[in-house]
A and B are shown apart, each in its own frame.
Chain A
Amino acid sequence: MKPEFKIIAKLIEKNTRVLDVGCGDGTLMEFLKDDSKIDIRGIEISKNNIQKCIGKGLTVIEGDAEKDLIQFPDRSFDYVILSQTLQAFLNPEKVISELLRVGKKAIVTIPNFGYWKVRLHLLTKGTMPITRTLPDEWYNTPNLHMCSIKDFFNFCDDREINLYKSIALQNLKSSKITNTNLPLKNLTAVLGIFLIEK
């Protein structure tokens, strides 16, 4: 299981309603369900993954987060999770606003484009960076809107989105991101995990 899932699980209180957007094969859903008595739903675009989830008895619907979140009423979930897929949407801004409409809080994780290896790759090689979290070539990557942790901070700041908790993940180590250590974390973190609310 991805190390970020354990951090996400810690951010979620027990006995809550949670929606996992882009739930994949349901690994995180199963983990949350067994661990903390959470009423969890998922939405996923891949048919194969949907069949896997349903086979596990998970409540998932096949759909596209950019079109299908509309069917969920305002604030119908305590938490909405979006794990490492924000950058793959055509319109991430709209997706974030939908997450914060449907959920009282949202948990968003992003691969950090400000990570030093990414910067170094572009600086020294002059080609699009390829790392463990960004394994694809520029022509076949699903990632349309890459951003850094600092970008995401600014994004939330501009829209008066409250960054409730910000966590940097590097390998297996996690640490808090604050306004003072932001430049450093933006350089050292592979992944940013954010608990946000509007």
Chain B
Amino acid sequence: MNKDVNIKTLKINKPLKLDCGQIINNFPLAYETYGVLNEKKDNAILIFHALTGDQFVSNVNPLTKKDGWWSYAVGSDKAIDTEKYFVICANVIGGCLGSFGPSNTNPKTNKVFGITFPIITINDMVNAQFNLLDFFKIKKLFAVIGGSMGGMQVLQFVSNFPDKTKIAIPIACASSHSAQNIAFNELGRQSIMADENWLNGNYSNQNKNPNKGLSVARMAAHITYLSKNGLQEKFGRKLQERDHLKFSFDADFQIESYLRYQGAVFVDRFDANSYLYITRAMDYFDLSKQYDGNLSKAFSKTKTKFLIISFTSDWLYPTSENKEIVIALNAIGADVAFAEIESDKGHDSFLLNVPKFLNTLKDYINTSYLKD
């Protein structure tokens, strides 16, 4: 991690009992904020990031120097308008951008944790981030919003804290990870572990990095974020800076070159062990199991208003899985709206410039803020 960059960090002194049984204490939670908290403190929005996201949701990410990961949706006059709302986003625990994670040094051994770091769950991530409400003295958030793993955290948040947010917007997510999703995550983990530089998770202590494994993991995952039509339209069988096939294993096709590039830039900003821990947390997520197999029970105490959004071409978290959440909420008469947005950009649609999605999000947020 670049030491020159100023990362805001909250030191959490309240002990947190993790689902695995371990108790952590005095741990850092890195966060960023945008906009201004008003006097009534009723305009705060907590955004949860996805697998490889971080706290830099908008503006320029000071580490990568690229736009924040949700710049299409968050910013001045955007769907989540930072002129009106106070936006908070934290790096999840288990992550690698300043929050307590496997790349931290274990004070007891003076060595990097690696895979001696405790297993983290979505529930643990949410409970850690709840400390931000106390820190900012916010009694009740206006909204919790997130896509993909961020959406899982939205669901867990409302279930854990039924009266701590006015509205909740889980996007392109599911109440539990499907076998297919676990399978893809396992593929990523095995590719990291197969890298000779992974060294059983101990690479940092030996100044190595499993770049090849992490980059293959990213390449495989990236395919799952897109759609067949989207890929075909963007790349087809177009060749990369050449007129003819080279009869070799170079990146002849543009799609190959694109995936290799995605893998290469990813290893510069992400820790391989964090990738293992966070994908594990997603696999372990099963909200209905926490409530005896009845998802409705997870929300039985809440008056929170929900908007659930899915995308037509998302095959990783398909509409049917998003709809299961809608059905569970309708079964108990909760206030739930649901829209499936037409897009050929796959699971990544929520991160990209999809005007129908962004307009729906913007209008819903703004009208909900005005209503009591």
Contact = CB atoms under 8 A, between A and B. Distances in A.
Interface in A22-52: 47, 50-51
Nearest to A61: B338
Interface stretch (A6-14, A69-77, A86-94, A186-194): A69-77
B269 interface: no
A29 to B, nearest CB: 12
A54 B342 contact: no
A24 to B, nearest CB: 15
B326 A54 contact: no
Contacts of B370: 57
A72 B339 contact: no
Contacts of B368: 57
Given A56-B367, A71-B331, A51 B339 contact: yes
Given A71-B327, A71-B330, A51 B360 contact: yes
A160 to B, nearest CB: 28
Nearest to B364: A54
Interface in B347-364: 356, 359-360, 363-364
A155 B307 CA distance: 38
Dominant SS at the A interface?
mixed
B335 A57 contact: no
B260 interface: no
B307 A51 contact: no
Nearest to A47: B342
Contact of B360 (A55, A71, A72): A55
Contacts of B338: 60-63
A166 interface: no
B333 A54 contact: no
A56 to B, nearest CB: 6
Chain B interface size, as a band, is 20 to 34
Interface residues on A, range: 10 to 19
B339 A50 contact: yes
Q: For chain B, what secondary structure do more than half of its interface residues adopt (helix, strand, loop), or is it mixed?
A: mixed
Contacts of B339: 47, 50-51, 54, 62
B337 interface: yes
B359 A60 contact: no
B308 to A, nearest CB: 8
B263 to A, nearest CB: 35
Nearest to A51: B360
Contact of B340 (A55, A56, A62): A62
A61 B340 CA distance: 9
B108 interface: no
A92 to B, nearest CB: 23
B327 to A, nearest CB: 4
A170 interface: no
Among B307, B335, B339, the most chain A Cβ lie within 10 Å of the Cβ of B339
B336 interface: yes
Interface of A: 17, 47, 50-51, 53-63, 71-73, 76
Given A55-B360, A57-B367, A62-B340, 13 more contacts: A47-B339, A51-B360, A57-B370, A57-B371, A58-B337, A59-B336, A60-B337, A61-B326, A61-B330, A62-B338, A72-B330, A73-B331, A76-B333
Interface of B: 305, 307, 326-327, 330-331, 333, 335-342, 356, 359-360, 363-364, 367-368, 370-371
11 contacts: A17-B333, A47-B342, A55-B360, A55-B363, A57-B364, A57-B368, A57-B370, A59-B305, A71-B327, A72-B331, A73-B331
